[in-house]
Amino acid sequence: MTELDLAFVEGGVTAPFGFMASGVCAGIKKSGRKDVALVVAEKPCPAAAVFTTSSMAAAPVIVSREHLAEGTLRAIVVNAGNANACTGAAGVADARAMAASVAAALGCAASEVLVASTGVIGVPMPMDLVLRGVAEAAEALDLVAGEDAAEAIMTTDTFVKTTGVAFEVDGITYTVGGMAKGSGMIQPNMATMLAFVTTDAPLSSASCDKALRSAVGRTFNRITIDSDTSTNDMCVLMASGAAGGAEITSHDARFVEIAAAIEHVCGELARMVVRDGEGATKLITVTVTGAQSEHDAEAAAFAVANSPLVKTAVFGADANWGRVAMAIGKSSAAVDQARVRITFAGILTCDGGTAVAFSEEAAATALAEDTVEIAVDLGLGVGQATVWTCDLSYDYVRINGEYRS
């Protein structure tokens, strides 16, 4: 990845030129919080998206897949509080009605509007509230309302997730901004949760698609909270081109730099999602090196990151590396016990597949930090991968045992 000089910028999806957004309270969430968001480009622009791989995909996913077919979008409408999943043909009609109402307000085609929903599964959409919310959101569109939109897509999230970077390529300053929401049902195999990324770089539709897929593969597809995959996941990229410059195809030298910035923004958002995982108290970084392939490294890292025993050990501040050994052992990665080296929170705990004496006191200190790194060297090759997850706490059980989310 190119070393780019990336400067953090505020504003989320409205940080790049050419985008407006809004977030309003439509009454779909019982809490009365913001629950309808719009992200709108000045004019139809190149876009790409990745969707959940679930065979129980929600109605908005079904409709949005259709609308993205031509690689052009004008707007994204999102509601929180109801997932519009397991709602049958009526749900699909409701998702179409959402797109149509946005199209009417903006004067564009319904097929240029992407629809996303998040919330409870299996409950019909309260369309009177939703449509009134869409109308209000269209009225509220603003060049600096990225944070409002980010707030309106939250469900059990405890903080708003936005980020953005500005950087220069060939004398032009480009910006990439984004927002995301978690925070349960987070598992690889595609986008995981909702994430919306905007840029004012003049990417073509094809280069949007290439940049997004590459970024998602190494960011959103490498996080896991509870190994569960939602019916509604999607990650969308829109490129307004408003910063100027000639169109950037994926063969363009500038493409590598733009793609790196997009991956950076996706990575930041992905780590925010994990840090805000349901009940999470710590961010866990699992890095596997020395695997026979990147695929093996990813499989081993996910086995560690998804292990409830590893996650509870981190919650309990216990450098229980035996559970890491167990997890890589059950993964599909090629492993030679005698070459395995495990570093837990910066402390070498296992070398050549056997225990290394370490200070429990030093381990306890290292594990008190809010980020814990687990590193495994398989000693077999050059494959490597990093996966991000969070610990498993009492609060995960409380949140999911007591709340119909």
Among 126, 322, 346, 381, binds a copy of itself (CB under 8 A): 322
Give min distance, CB of 402 to a copy of itself, in A. 5
Q: Which of residues 193-212 bind a copy of itself (CB under 8 A)?
A: none
Rounded distance, CA 243 to CA 168, Å?
11
Among 45, 57, 203, 347, binds a copy of itself (CB under 8 A): 57
Handedness of CA 263, 268, 281, 342 (dihedral sign): positive
Active site residue 173: no
Rounded to 5°, angle at Cα 36 from 32 and 42? 150
- Residue with Cβ nearer a copy of itself (249 or 400): 400
- Residue with Cβ nearer a copy of itself (173 or 354): 354
CB 43 within 8 A of CB 81: no
Rounded alpha-carbon distances, angstroms, from residue 324 to 14, 209, 286, 287: 42, 36, 10, 12
Question: Letter for the amino acid at 40?
Answer: V
189 contacts a copy of itself (rule: CB under 8 A): yes
Rounded distance, CA 96 to CA 335, Å?
50
398 contacts a copy of itself (rule: CB under 8 A): yes
222 DSSP assignment: G
* DSSP secondary structure of 176-219: EEEEEE--SS--SSS--SEEEEEE-S-B-HHHHHHHHHHHHHHT
Contact characters 89-128, a copy of itself, x per CB under 8 A: -xx----------------------------xxxxx----
325 contacts a copy of itself (rule: CB under 8 A): yes
- Residue with Cβ nearer a copy of itself (20 or 313): 313
Among 17, 315, 344, 388, binds a copy of itself (CB under 8 A): 315
CB 367 within 8 A of CB 401: no
Q: Which of residues 327-386 bind a copy of itself (CB under 8 A)?
A: 327-331, 333-335, 337-338, 340, 350, 352-355
Pair type for strands 347-351 and 234-239: unpaired
Quick one: which H or E segment has residue 344?
strand 341-344
Handedness of CA 84, 89, 95, 101 (dihedral sign): negative
Give min distance, CB of 237 to a copy of itself, in A. 24
With a CB cutoff of 8 Å and minimum separation 6, the contacts of 17 are: 175, 200, 240, 242, 243
187 contacts a copy of itself (rule: CB under 8 A): yes
The catalytically annotated residue of 52, 175, 192, 343 is: 192
Give min distance, CB of 32 to a copy of itself, in A. 23
Give min distance, CB of 233 to a copy of itself, in A. 10
56 contacts a copy of itself (rule: CB under 8 A): yes
Q: Which of residues 58-87 bind a copy of itself (CB under 8 A)?
A: 83, 85-87
Task: Return the number of other C-beta atoms located less than 10 Å from residue 362's C-beta.
Answer: 13
CB 296 within 8 A of CB 278: no
Q: Which of residues 215-234 bind a copy of itself (CB under 8 A)?
A: 226-231
Among 101, 307, 384, 389, binds a copy of itself (CB under 8 A): 307
Pair type for strands 383-390 and 283-291: antiparallel
394 contacts a copy of itself (rule: CB under 8 A): yes
Give min distance, CB of 308 to a copy of itself, in A. 4
Pair type for strands 371-377 and 283-291: parallel
Question: Letter for the amino acid at 1?
Answer: M
88 contacts a copy of itself (rule: CB under 8 A): yes
With a CB cutoff of 8 Å and minimum separation 6, the contacts of 3 are: none
Q: Which of residues 138-177 bind a copy of itself (CB under 8 A)?
A: none
- Residue with Cβ nearer a copy of itself (198 or 306): 306
Give me 358's structure tokens. 């370490």
Quick one: which H or E segment has residue 114?
strand 113-120
Which segment (32-40, 64-72, 151-159, 183-191) binds a copy of itself by CB under 8 A?
Answer: 183-191
**Residue numbers annotated as active site:** 192
Write out the residues near a copy of itself by the rule CB under 8 A.
52-57, 83, 85-88, 90-91, 120-124, 184-185, 187, 189, 226-231, 306-309, 312-313, 315-316, 318, 320-323, 325-331, 333-335, 337-338, 340, 350, 352-355, 392-394, 396-398, 400-402, 404
